[in-house]
Structures are given as C-alpha cells and as structure tokens.
Structure 1
Amino acid sequence: MTTPAAADAGPPLRAWERRRLRGIERGLEPDVRARRLLCAALDAVALALLAAGIFVALPWLFAACVAGNLAVCAHLEPASRRSRGGNAWPR
C-alpha cells in the first residue's frame, strides 16, 4: 500500500524554519491585553448606560441592555472558541 504524494510530509523542518513558523503563529494569537481592555471598556459603557437609564431616561436603559449583551459576548467568546475546537463560527 502506497501513500499518496499529497499526504507526504516531506523532510523535517530546519531550526530556522521552525523559529520562523513559531513567530508567525505567535503573531496570529489574539492579544490578551487588548482583549481585556476591550472587555473593560464595554463593561464601563454598559454600567454608564445603566446608570443613565435608571436616573435620566428609560431609553438609556435599553441601550444599557444592548451594551451589556455585547460585553457578555466579548467575555464569553474566547471560551466558546476553545470549546468548539478553535473556530468560533460554524462553517
């Protein structure tokens, strides 16, 4: 039984190729600091709109609900991506 040519892995990578690929992979990873900053900003906006909705006018409360849902989605998104095997959106 022979293996098709497309399945052949070829020769092993050299050290500089492995380092370069590792650097590319690091560049593709999401920045944790930027993600935390985005989540904190969304939380602050949601809380500010909630306070405005309670003390100023009721339409602000609706905006607070929308911002709160966005903040929750931003907090839960990395966990849902891990549970689906790396892809957050189904194909």
Structure 2
Amino acid sequence: MTTPAAADPGPPLGAWERRRLRGIERGLRTTGTRVRLVLCLGVDAVALALLAAGIFLALPWLFAGCVVGNLAVCLHFERRSPHHRAKGNPWPK
C-alpha cells in the first residue's frame, strides 16, 4: 500500500525553518489579547464619540476625532512581529 502524496511529510525541516516557525507560533499565542482588544475597542469608541460631536456640535471636535481615529488605526495595525522593516529582513539568506 502506498502513502498518498498529501500525507507525505516531506524532508525534515532545517534549523532556521524550525526557529522561524516557533517565532510565528509565539506571535499567534493568545497572551494579553483580551487587554489589547479592550484597549482597541475603547479607543474606537472615543474616536466615534468625538467624530459625532464634531459633526453635531463644533468643528474642533471633528479634528480631535480624526486624530484619535488615526491612533485607533495604528493600534489595530501595530506590528506584532519582532522583525520590523526598520530592523532588517527576517528571512535568512
């Protein structure tokens, strides 16, 4: 009986591949995500409240809402990886 190609594990991983996969796995763990979620939702709520106040009350509140909205976007898209573009290429040669 032969093993299907999809079940074939292939050659063993190299050391750098194992390190890279462990780093990705650490980034996917759910440590501190609840606090981060509450923080992001809080900043989103403040941004929406300021935008609504700016539309209905005064224009300076709209500007403040846009600033807080940009901060909320930055919080949502914050890089979780230790390798950032400014630090160099995370892939080995």
TM-score w.r.t. the length of structure 2 is 0.56
Runs of 4+ in 1 over 6 A off after TM superposition: none
Cα distance in 1 for partners of 2:61, 2:74 equals 20
Cα distance in 1 for partners of 2:71, 2:31 equals 18
Partner of 1:38: 39
Cα distance in 1 for partners of 2:70, 2:48 equals 12
Partner of 2:49: 48
After TM superposition, list the pairs within 5 Å mapping 1:52-71 onto structure 2.
Answer: 52-71=53-72
Aligned residue pairs, count: 59
CA deviations over 1:33-91 (Å, ceiling 9, x no partner): 000000000000000000000000000000000000000000000xx333xxx145845
Partner of 2:5: none
User: Over the residues paired in the alignment, what is the CA RMSD in angstroms?
Assistant: 2.2
Structure 2, gaps ≥5 residues long: 1-25, 88-93
Structure 1, gaps ≥5 residues long: 1-24
TM-score w.r.t. the length of structure 1 is 0.57
1:81 equivalenced with 2:84 (yes/no): no
